[in-house]
């Protein structure tokens, strides 16, 4: 009898973590490696947020268990955020808080999926979505959205993907890995499809809400079509905009029975997220927000630098995304070509492996996100490193025959 569970056979380790580990190992061996794999801001958590956590620890507010799915103060801060920034009214009984957006999504799938239930996932997608659905016993239904569609699902493609078994439509805007974000008009058109299928629920992952450029206006489905509100789970968190990936706080607003079920799952797995982190998140949401546009200005400059330099690399085509801190260039123009060391590039995995081996630049292959040949670059890193990495990519591509 096998010791490990069968469901492990359905999932794979995160390819983004695998790339980061490989880059780290090469660095430890003395190689000059620039890692563009990690999905987190290079900025530190703002001081006032750190101080709020330190105060909570000193005052004994972080020593004990809290309510399973969040301190009342944090739920109030989340409800106020949804009202202030998204025009959405949630009672605190409709709010859940978990150890990161990842746990929120996982709880939601665990709470709702029966064997055979389908989840529509536009590809390219964040690597964890299909595996979370599989672990919860559901069936991921991937809908490929190519570069020609701006990496966005069209109303026609959504309509075609819906079946009687569809439980969720999962939307991520701005997107990891492409940075693509949906305009209000695009969401409106998707909402019209969803209105025709009342059995489909909407899980919207708005984690990169604040990371948008060129005056793009962020909107979320329940805001665009109030009729979708009772069947939408609006997921968000403090990890990316507030530079708090290590603190592990994510949250969501949604229908009360779902929120209750998610709390039950959490109560039998991890209980509350760390109390000190929750107090930090209260300060993040209620405190000054002025550092966000400052960070965005830097991110936008980096995005423009990377897009422009990549488009000068032979065989690379890189669109300009609306948000997040990723670009998703196609490397189709390099496929079939050979490196000076005699390796022929047959897949985007070959491309990123050879790029790391020969030039010491770590990126993640697009096929890991469900659409290749392409790769993902995270530009949440110093300008000097980005410029050097892009020079190396240009040289790598220039040397292909
Ligand atoms: N959703 C998307 C699209 C992400 O890219 C990430 C993190 O990379 C998450 C959710 C999870 O965020 P957290 O670190 O809060 O769990």
Q: Does position 1 have pLDDT exceeding 70, yes or no?
A: no
Interval 202-254: pLDDT, tens:
999 999 999 999 999 999 999 999 999 999 999 999 999 999 999 999 999 99
Ligand 1 atom showing the smallest separation from residue 40 Cα: 8
Give mean pLDDT, residues 130-141: 96
CA of 15 to the centre of ligand 1 (A): 14
Q: Does position 157 have pLDDT exceeding 70, yes or no?
A: yes
Q: Which residue has the higher pLDDT, 8 or 96?
A: 96
Ligand 1 atom showing the smallest separation from residue 172 Cα: 3
pLDDT at 12: 84
| CATH 3.90.1150.10 at 6-44+291-398, yes or no | yes
CA dihedral (96, 326, 245, 99) in degrees, to 10, reads 30
Confidence of residue 279 (pLDDT cuts 50, 70, 90): very high
Is the CB of residue 101 below 6 angstroms from any atom belonging to ligand 1? yes
CA of 242 to the centre of ligand 1 (A): 13
Q: Does position 10 have pLDDT exceeding 90, yes or no?
A: no
Give mean pLDDT, residues 282-301: 97
Q: From the CB of residue 160, how many other CB atoms can be counted at a distance below 10 Å? A: 12
Is the CB of residue 176 below 6 angstroms from any atom belonging to ligand 1? yes
Is the CB of residue 204 below 6 angstroms from any atom belonging to ligand 1? no
Is the CB of residue 100 below 6 angstroms from any atom belonging to ligand 1? yes
Per-residue CA distances from 183 to 125, 221, 226, 232, 317 (Å): 18, 10, 16, 18, 23
Is the CB of residue 205 below 6 angstroms from any atom belonging to ligand 1? yes
Contact 335, 88 (CB under 8 A): no
Percentage of residues in the chain having pLDDT higher than 90 = 93
Give mean pLDDT, residues 31-54: 94
Confidence of residue 296 (pLDDT cuts 50, 70, 90): very high
Which of 117, 113, 114 minimizes the C-alpha distance to 105?
Answer: 113
Contact 73, 67 (CB under 8 A): no
Is the CB of residue 252 below 6 angstroms from any atom belonging to ligand 1? no
324, HSE (Cβ side, Cα atoms, 13 Å):
27
Q: Does position 286 have pLDDT exceeding 90, yes or no?
A: yes
Is the CB of residue 209 below 6 angstroms from any atom belonging to ligand 1? no
Sheet with 139-144: strands ordered across: 95-98, 250-253, 232-237, 201-205, 166-172, 118-123, 139-144
Ligand 1 atom showing the smallest separation from residue 249 Cα: 15
Q: Which residue has the higher pLDDT, 16 or 276?
A: 276
User: What residue's CA is closest to ligand 1, atom 8?
Assistant: 39
Give mean pLDDT, residues 7-14: 85
Give mean pLDDT, residues 146-153: 97
Confidence of residue 387 (pLDDT cuts 50, 70, 90): very high
CA of 57 to the centre of ligand 1 (A): 26
Please name the CATH architecture into which domain 64-286 falls.
3-Layer(aba) Sandwich (3.40)
- Domain ranges for the chain, please list them: 6-44+291-398, 64-286
Mean pLDDT for the chain overall: 96
Q: Does position 198 have pLDDT exceeding 70, yes or no?
A: yes
**Are both 6-44+291-398 and 64-286 of the same fold?**
no
């Amino acid at each position: 009898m096998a010791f490990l569970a069968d469901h492990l056979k359905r999932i794979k380790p995160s390819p983004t973590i695998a790339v980061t580990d490989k880059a780290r190992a090469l660095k430890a061996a003395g190689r000059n490696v620039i890692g563009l794999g990690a999905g987190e801001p290079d900025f530190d958590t703002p001081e006032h947020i750190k101080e709020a956590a330190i105060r909570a620890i000193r005052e004994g507010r972080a020593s004990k268990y809290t309510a399973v799915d969040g301190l009342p103060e944090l739920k109030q801060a989340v409800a106020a955020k949804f009202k202030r920034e998204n025009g959405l009214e949630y009672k605190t009984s409709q709010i859940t808080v978990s150890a990161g957006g990842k746990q929120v999504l996982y709880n939601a799938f665990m709470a709702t999926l029966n064997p055979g239930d389908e989840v529509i996932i536009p590809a390219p997608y964040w690597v964890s979505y299909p595996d979370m659905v599989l672990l919860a016993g559901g069936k991921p239904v991937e809908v490929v959205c190519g570069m020609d569609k701006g990496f966005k699902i069209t109303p026609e493609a959504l309509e075609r993907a819906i079946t009687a078994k569809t439980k969720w439509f999962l939307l991520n805007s701005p997107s990891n890995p492409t940075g693509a974000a949906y305009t209000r008009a695009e969401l409106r058109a998707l909402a019209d499809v969803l209105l025709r299928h009342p059995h489909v629920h909407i899980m919207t992952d708005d984690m990169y809400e604040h990371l948008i450029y060129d005056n793009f206006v962020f909107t979320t489905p329940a805001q665009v079509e109030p009729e979708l509100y009772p069947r939408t789970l609006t997921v968000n968190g403090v990890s990316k905009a507030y530079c708090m990936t290590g603190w592990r706080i994510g949250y969501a607003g949604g229908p009360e029975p779902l929120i209750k079920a998610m709390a039950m799952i959490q109560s039998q797995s991890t209980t509350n997220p760390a109390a000190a982190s929750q107090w930090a998140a209260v300060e993040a949401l209620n405190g000054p927000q002025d550092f966000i546009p400052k960070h965005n200005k830097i991110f936008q400059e980096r995005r423009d630098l990377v897009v422009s330099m990549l488009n000068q690399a032979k065989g690379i085509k890189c669109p300009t995304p609306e948000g997040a801190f990723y670009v998703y260039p196609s490397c189709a123009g390099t496929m079939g070509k050979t490196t000076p060391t005699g390796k022929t590039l047959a897949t985007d995995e070959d491309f990123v492996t050879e790029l790391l081996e020969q030039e010491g630049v770590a990126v993640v292959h697009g096929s890991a996100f469900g659409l290749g040949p392409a790769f993902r670059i995270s530009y949440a890193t110093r300008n000097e490193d980005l410029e050097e990495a892009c020079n190396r990519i240009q040289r790598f591509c220039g040397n292909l025959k």
